[in-house]
Amino acid sequence: MRKKIDSNRSATMRAVTSKNTKPELAVRSLIHRLGFRFRLHRKDIPGNPDIAFPCRRKVIFINGCFWHGHDCTRGARVPINNRDYWTVKIARNKARDARHLVALAASGWQALTLWECELRDQHLQERIKAFLTLYP
């Protein structure tokens, strides 16, 4: 029975991607419809943001609630198996995200973090538009 569980879990974890996720594609489509053009996954910007607007010096991160430890119900859930590992891993992810935000601010970039659970919000379009149109 243990082998079957491990096999299922391995298949599930292999299916998790870090780029071009459904939430990311939905936000990119929305931004494109708003008329903004952007760059993807710029490695030369701290944090390798999901979406970058170099001429505006703005970036958008689209975070999964579980992986980045959001305070919603999905993000607050800790797996039953290997609980210690996941607690430490998510804490490391949160610390890394905070370091990236500090580095971005220090180099003159503005960042917007969108959470997976917020993508259903009816005011998301206005929030993104306000972020992208307001200049510092």
Query: What single string gives the DSSP state of each residue in 41-59?
Result: S-TTSTT--SEEETTTTEE
What distance in Å separates the CA atoms of residue 21 and residue 30, rounded to the nearest whole number? 14
What does the pLDDT look like over 25-48, one tens digit per residue? 999 999 999 999 999 999 999 999
For residues 93-117, give the mean pLDDT.
96
Q: What is the pLDDT of residue 73?
A: 84
Q: What is the pLDDT of residue 6?
A: 63
With beta carbons less than 8 A apart as the criterion, state whether 48 and 97 touch.
no
Nearest residue to 64 (alpha-carbon basis) of 76, 51, 49, 75: 75
Q: Which CATH code for domain 17-133?
A: 3.40.960.10
> For residue 15, is pLDDT > 90?
no
Q: What is the pLDDT of residue 34?
A: 95
What does the pLDDT look like over 55-101, one tens digit per residue? 999 999 999 999 899 999 888 888 888 899 999 999 999 999 999 99
> For residue 4, is pLDDT > 70?
no
Which segments within 50-129 are labelled E, that is strand? 51-53, 58-63, 110-115
**Distance between alpha carbon 131 and the CA centroid of its chain, in Å?**
16
Q: Is the dihedral of CA 104, 59, 16, 98 positive or negative?
A: positive
pLDDT higher at 96 or 18: 96
R_g of the chain computed on alpha carbons: 17
Look at residue 82 and give its three-state secondary structure: coil
Its pTM stands at 0.85
What is the C-alpha end-to-end distance of the chain, expressed in Å? 57
The domain segmentation of the chain, as residue ranges, is 17-133
